[in-house]
Amino acid sequence: MGRIYTDNMKNLCKPVLSVLSVFLFFTASAQDFAWTPGLQRAYTDLQKGKLANARQMLAREPAQNGVRVFVEDYADMLLLVTTDDDRAFASLSDREDERLDALKSLTDDSPWQRVLQAEVRLHWAFVKLKFGREMSASWDVIRAYRLLAENQKRFPAFLPTYKSLGTLHIMIGSVPENYVWVANLLGLRGNIRQGQQELQRAQADPIFSLEARLVDLMVRAYVLNFTDADGQSLRQLVTANSDNLLLHFFGATIEQKNGHGEQALAYLNTRPTGAAYQPMPIIENILGDVYLQKGQYNTATAHFRQFLASYRGRNFLKDTHYKLFLCHWLANRPESEARPLLEMVLRVGRTAVESDKAAQKFAEAYLKRGASANQKVLMRARLASDGGFTDSALAYLRPYPETRFATLAERAEFNYRMGRIYQRQNAPDAAIPYLSRALALADTPDGRRDQLSFGASAALQLGYIYQQKNDRIRARSFFQKALSFKHHEYKNSVDNKAKAQL
């Protein structure tokens, strides 16, 4: 009788224990990766640039929660990329491995486990690029890709996977032609269209929606062709998040990149301020850039000086001293005032970012050979045109015929600048002859063809113009022409854009 009772109890307990074990497993999984109200508020504050507030909320959260690990890592990333502080980087860099180990120790059956590992790796890849650790950053990106690709296979409906996976697929699809074999060898697969679709899908996720929308707009600005409709979407996003400092900052950088200096100023002049926000000295640098483009050299100088006074990093120092030189040189200040600023370019900072590399290159060339009066005219026009101040740019160049410019490079640049000015003034038929002339001048058989970026850039812009005219055959031919230039300064950027359109 006792054995029968015992057997019956065992039979009754089996389904109960089975249900209980499943309940306990999912409870453990939820506890391992719990987006508590405090963590949601902390993550939202970090996305706004409110670092101190977020850290206070994080301190009250359980340490063993994988989401807390991720949000803490986000906070460190934000600190490092806004300060560029080498000492902070040295003291914090060990945390990447610590956090990855903490995430790996949590349940493998949650889709968050691989996503958050990938996010941590991407945080540190971004940081390492800022501090000149390109090789280590590359491996972080590769490992993040593999984690996200595995997660997509195991949990195809899990939306948070697609925010960073879509971004990486766009990056892979933008790899220059001569490096595609490397991506294939490493097992990296993806294309721009696929990545865009994944970013769109990620925007339905309530946690990563804002970030996915911003990344999508940045891809359109830096990889594709930023349209008026994209600009409207960006304005709506910033307006809807008026207390978000980072959105105002990224909105300004996107608009500045796309030749809308006044809109960049509008975002920065309406940005939220106060002690709650993480200091961002780089904003002073961007303000200096826009006022330099406007030709307001004293105002630009004040912003550049303010940047140097408040910034403690080593990036952008060469670029800032180069811009200070331009303020003096273009204002026709004495050579004795301008030249020392350019000499400083060779002595300060490092060349981890593109703008510092370009400043170093200009300083070396100018200090060795000087510059002609023609180059000063072209520089004024270039800056004004890049900022979208096209009336000023045209006023600089209109008095001069092409024959005024002595060298092949100067003549190619003169025509390219004129073409871009008319293109930005929505006068494509006026732009075409100038861009075609710039392409013809740069497309020379004497060995200089690949050193002149104006040929590839002119071909790209002609492709855009004929694409807008719905002349697909001509558009395709110009995009292919842009790709044919092999070694110019803007090879990666031009190739990415041309390939995206093709």
DSSP label of 470: T
The three-class DSSP label of residue 108 is coil
Residue 240 DSSP symbol: H
Instruction: Assess contact for 416 and 434: CB atoms under 8 A.
Output: yes
Q: How many CB atoms lie within 10 A of CB 386?
A: 20
Helices (H), 225-275: 228-240, 245-257, 261-269
- Kindly list the distances between the CA atom of residue 195 and the CA atoms of 212, 247, 498, in Å, as whole numbers in the listed order: 11, 22, 17
Q: Is residue 218 a contact partner of residue 258, using CB atoms and an 8 Å limit?
A: no
Provide, rounded to the nearest whole percent, the portion of the chain with pLDDT above 70.
91
pLDDT at 9 over 50: no
pLDDT in tens, 187-198: 788 888 999 999
Q: How many other CB atoms sit within 10 Å of the CB of residue 8?
A: 10
Residue 264 has pLDDT above 50, yes or no: yes
What is d(CA 36, CA 21) in angstroms, rounded to the nearest whole number? Answer: 24
Contact criterion met (CB below 8 Å) for 411 and 402: yes
Residue range 394-421: mean pLDDT, rounded: 92
Residue 18's pLDDT band, with cuts at 50, 70 and 90, is very low
Cα distance between residue 310 and residue 306, in whole Å: 6
pLDDT at res. 179 = 64
Could you report the per-residue pLDDT of 133-149, keeping only the tens digit for each?
999 999 999 999 999 99
pLDDT of residue 14: 45
Higher pLDDT, 198 or 181: 198
> Is the model's pLDDT at 491 over the cut of 90?
no
Burial of 232 (0-12, 13-18, 19+ CB in 10 A): exposed
Query: Is 22 or 400 the better-scoring residue by pLDDT?
Result: 400
Phi then psi for residue 318, to 5 deg, are -60, -45
Q: Scanning the structure block, which residue is given the tokens 């600009």?
A: 231
Query: In whole angstroms, what is the distance from residue 495 CA to residue 80 CA?
Result: 31
- The answer to whether residue 470 scores a pLDDT higher than 60 is yes
Q: What is the pLDDT of residue 126?
A: 94
Task: Output the pLDDT for position 5.
Answer: 39
Helix ranges (DSSP H) in 398-468: 408-424, 428-442, 453-468
Q: What is the mean pLDDT of residues 314-343?
A: 95
Q: Which band of pLDDT confidence, cut at 50, 70 and 90, is reported for residue 24?
A: very low
Span 212-258, pLDDT tens digits: 999 999 999 988 888 999 999 999 999 999 999 999 999 999 999 99
The answer to which of 93-107, 214-228, 478-492 has the lowest mean pLDDT is 478-492
CA–CA gap between residue 93 and residue 127 (Å, rounded): 9
250 or 130: which leads in pLDDT:
250
SS3 of 342-361: HHHHCCCCCCCCHHHHHHHH
pLDDT confidence tier of residue 31, bands split at 50, 70 and 90: confident
Arithmetic mean of pLDDT over the chain: 89
279: helix, coil or strand?
coil
The pLDDT assigned to 156 comes to 97
The pLDDT, as a whole number, for residue 189 is 86
Highest mean pLDDT among 29-43, 426-440, 481-495: 426-440
Weakest-pLDDT range from 103-107, 121-125, 271-275, 482-486:
482-486
Whether 6 shows a pLDDT value over 60: the answer reads no
Pseudo-torsion of CA 405, 407, 413, 419, nearest 10°?
60
H-helix or E-strand spanning residue 375: helix 373-386
Percent with pLDDT over 90 in the chain: 73
pLDDT value, residue 106: 94
Task: Give the helix/strand (H/E) hosting 393.
Answer: helix 390-397
Task: Give pLDDT, residue 177.
Answer: 65
Nearest to 126 by CA among 178, 161, 184, 167: 167
Rounded Cα distance between 45 and 244, Å, is: 8
Report the alpha-carbon distance of residue 68 to residue 120 in Å, rounded: 12
Q: Which two tokens mark 339?
A: 């030249």
Residue 344 in tokens: 């400083």
